[in-house]
Structure 1
Amino acid sequence: MIVITDGSGEVIGASARRVQAGDVVLVPPGGLRGLVGGAPDGLSAISIHFEGEGARWDTPCLCATLAPGGAGDGPAEGTATPLDRLIEENEAHAREFAVSPLMQLIRSERALADDVKRRMLGALQIWSNAFQKVLCARVVFESHPAAIKIAERHLADEVGHNRRLARMHGPSRLPSWDRGIAAASSWFIERMGSASSEERTVLIHFVIERCADILLSAAQQIFPDSDYFATHAEVDAEHFKLGYDLLKSFPGLDVAPLQGALTEGWQMMNLICQRISDIAERGCDATADLPAAWAGPGELAGASARELAALAMAPAAE
């Protein structure tokens, strides 16, 4: 339930409508709603989550500000823009991930066992190290002025977070490498060189950050004293919004290719998280089930010199 406490604006999504102070918006289970503040002062609201069977604590209330020009520039009441529909598609993927094996493990008593937590941190470290390279590759290849600014800000926010994670388990972590995580991570790095600015934005801000928001927020329950998980619980939702605002700024946005990037990105993140779950539960010898239709890092053999240079420039993460 969203209670509008001050100002005015609109609810975005499948049932867009104007709202003002005193209005109450009910969000059905699994329904996505976002708020856009109206000119000139935006709005304030309280998002209330109810307890009980099927309660969800990882459903966002996306808030944004209107571009210059005020509320009249937004979509007509009762309509949804292509970007709104892309966000809703992203949330469908997010809801599927929220009940994935890794998320079920994190919410179970098994995750409290010391050996499970140790292996989970080790597997997560592999992806955390690779994510630093993904962000570096994005900065190298980005050419759109607004996207460059966002990419550099994002890298500045995230740089060194893998070292913070490493301090949680020390130098003796296991595993130190996994073929499934390494293969899917390489796919993201390569896509930073071959994708468009819009596709990079979807992969980084919609897929990776939305996945991280769900995963790392829930992981606070089993790592309550970790500043790594607490920090990400605070910033990942903001990083998602950065991508939303950036895509809104692109004129004539073509959503069709972004839907393909969205689906592929979630498939790769699900592969990474499945491996983290397998390793945490069964150890380093857990079998990696790679999709037969995807060749993994071998696809990099056809990368251009510029793409390979970006990978070489990405610093080795600790």
Structure 2
Amino acid sequence: MTTMPAPLREVADRNEEHVRAYRSSNLIVLLEDPTTPAATKDAVLAHVAPWSDAFQRMISVRAAFETDPQLKELALEHQQEEVGHNDILADSHRSGRTAGWDPVVEAGAAWFVDQFRTLPGLHRVVLAHLVLEAGSLTFSNAGSLAFPGNAYFALHDEADEEHIEMGYRLLAERQDWQLGEVTELLDHAWQIITMVSDRIAELARRDTVVPA
């Protein structure tokens, strides 16, 4: 683990608070609950697919708009490692169900894409590595319980931890960021992640409700 100076330790502690809260979100609880019907868990994979596709757009925009040479290299490395993971998700568990367009999921994705276009480079690092990857790791841990042996979740359990560490290493090396700005960004981004996740859980339950 990266050795952390005091401001970065505050960032890590704040982020871990958000991760703990996210573990109690509707989506994670749904996947980890052994009483959740299999059909509902299957529906989660269909409804998370548009978000997985949007993640590819997010990391592409980050790489395209980054101008700092060091951060550009990191963004391109991250993009290369993530390319095609949405296809792995689609191939890992085909249920025949396809998610339609949803305004909440699309709005959340659009917020992240816009941030990757406009924020300074280290703020992009925070979004990509401390929020998106930490959220993905939490989701993958829950998904591994719900879908043992699933190739997509097995891949992300290992890859996401390294991607999170990438972010902390960069913030430890660079001093051109402000604690208040970073913690505010964490707060906003985790609200978006939770909003989208709760919506995915809602859609999965709605699609598999048993008529009375």
Please, what TM-score do these two structures have when normalized by structure 1?
A: 0.63
Deviation at 1:123, TM superposition (A): 1.0
User: Corresponding residue for 1:60?
Assistant: none
- Judging changes above 3 Å, is the alpha-carbon distance between structure 1 residues 284 and 105 closer, same or farther for their aligned structure 2 residues? closer
Q: Comparing both structures, which one devotes a greater share of its residues to helix?
A: 2
Deviation at 1:199, TM superposition (A): 1.0
Cα separation, 1, equivalents of 2:65 and 2:208: 34
Contact 1:198–1:258, Cα closer than 8 Å, also in 2: no
After TM superposition, give the deviation of residue 95 of structure 1 in Å. Answer: 0.7
Runs (4+) of structure 1 moved beyond 6 Å? none
Q: Deviations over 1:188-211 (max 9, x none)?
A: 001111111111111111111111
Please say if residues 198 and 247 of structure 1, whose CA atoms lie closer than 8 Å, have aligned partners that are also in contact. Answer: yes
8 Å contact from structure 1 (residues 135, 151) kept in 2: yes
| RMSD over aligned Cα atoms | 1.8
Change in Cα spacing, 1:179 to 1:284, as seen in structure 2 (3 Å) is farther
What residue number does 1:132 align with?
Answer: 56
Residue 248 of structure 1: aligned partner: 172
User: Structure 1 residue aligned with 2:31, among 106, 113, 135?
Assistant: 106
Aligned residue in 1 for 2:206: 282
Deviations 1:129-181 (A, max 9, x none): 00000000000111111111111111111100000111134484232322111
Q: Give the partner amino acid of 1:96.
A: A
- Counterpart for residue 268 of structure 1: 192
Q: Distance in 1 between matches of 2:38 and 2:17?
A: 33
Q: How does 1:152-231 map to 2 (within 5 A)?
A: 152-170=76-94, 172-231=96-155
Aligned partner of residue 110 in structure 1, secondary structure:
coil
Amino acid across the alignment from 1:102: L
Task: Write the distance in 1 (CA, Å) between the matches of 2:85 and 2:157.
Answer: 13
Structure 2: how far apart are the matches of 1:152 and 1:173? 33
Q: Please say if residues 175 and 284 of structure 1, whose CA atoms lie closer than 8 Å, have aligned partners that are also in contact.
A: no
Residue 115 of structure 1 corresponds to 39
Alpha-carbon distance in 1 for matches of 2:115, 2:95: 30
Report percent identity of matched pairs.
31
1:94 and 2:29 equivalent? no
Greater radius of gyration (CA): 1
Residue 85 of structure 1 pairs with residue 10 of structure 2: yes
Distance, in Å, in 2 between the alignment partners of 1:153 and 1:103 is: 28
Higher mean alpha-carbon deviation, 228-237 vs 251-260, is at: 251-260
Q: What amino acid sits opposite 1:98 in the alignment?
A: R
Give the whole-Å Cα distance in 1 for the aligned partners of 2:193 and 2:208. 19
Deviation at 1:261, TM superposition (A): 1.1
Shift of 1:225: 2.2
Return the match for 1:148 from 61, 72, 83: 72
Instruction: Tell whether the 8 Å contact from 1:142 to 1:197 is kept in structure 2 after alignment.
Output: yes
Distance 1:171 1:106, change over 3 A: closer
* 1:251-302 deviations in Å (ceiling 9; x for gaps): 34322211121111001100111011111222299xxxxxxxxxxxxxxxxx
Following the alignment from structure 1 to structure 2, what is the Cα–Cα distance between the partners of residues 191 and 171?
A: 33
TM-score, length-normalised on structure 2?
0.92
Partners of 1:199 and 1:259 lie apart in 2 by 10
TM-fit CA distance, 1:217: 1.2
How far, CA to CA, are the matches of 2:65 and 2:96 in structure 1?
35
Structure-2 separation of matches of 1:100 and 1:231: 22
- How many residue pairs are counted as aligned between the two chains? 209
